Amino acid sequence: MEQQPQKKMVVSKKIMKVGPWGGTGGSPWDDGGHTGVRSITLSYDRCIDSIAVEYDRNGVAVAGERHGGAGGNQTTQVHTQYHLHLVMFLAQP
């Protein structure tokens, strides 16, 4: 069996800004630069109404603002392994 060449992973601690994206019915937002994402909280009913992100900045939890509408009677929270570097893209149709 032929061995596959090893792939190299390049890791950078440099913050790079991309976006914003979204539809015509909202405003772009930017919570600033952080070293990771600890959790994402979604408020919803029939669709996602708002999003709030809890970031990590060098080991300290930093709460981001709630972005979106004031509705949404239900919430769900997605916890991440914040020590991993995450890139999150959100798009609204």
Assigned domain for 28 exists:
no
Q: Does any domain span residue 4? A: no
- Residue 53 in any domain: the answer is yes
Q: Quote the CA–CA distance of 21 and 55 in Å, as a whole number.
A: 20
Q: Is 50 part of a structural domain of the chain?
A: yes
User: Is 46 part of a structural domain of the chain?
Assistant: yes
pLDDT digits (tens, 9 = 90+) for 78-88: 988 755 444 44
Res. 51 pLDDT band, cuts 50 70 90: very high
- pLDDT confidence bin for 36, thresholds 50/70/90: confident
| CB burial of residue 67 (10 Å; 0-12, 13-18, 19+) | middle
68 inside domain = yes
Tell me the residue range of the domain where 51 lies: 36-79
Task: Provide the domain count of the chain.
Answer: 1
**Model-level pTM greater than 0.75?**
no
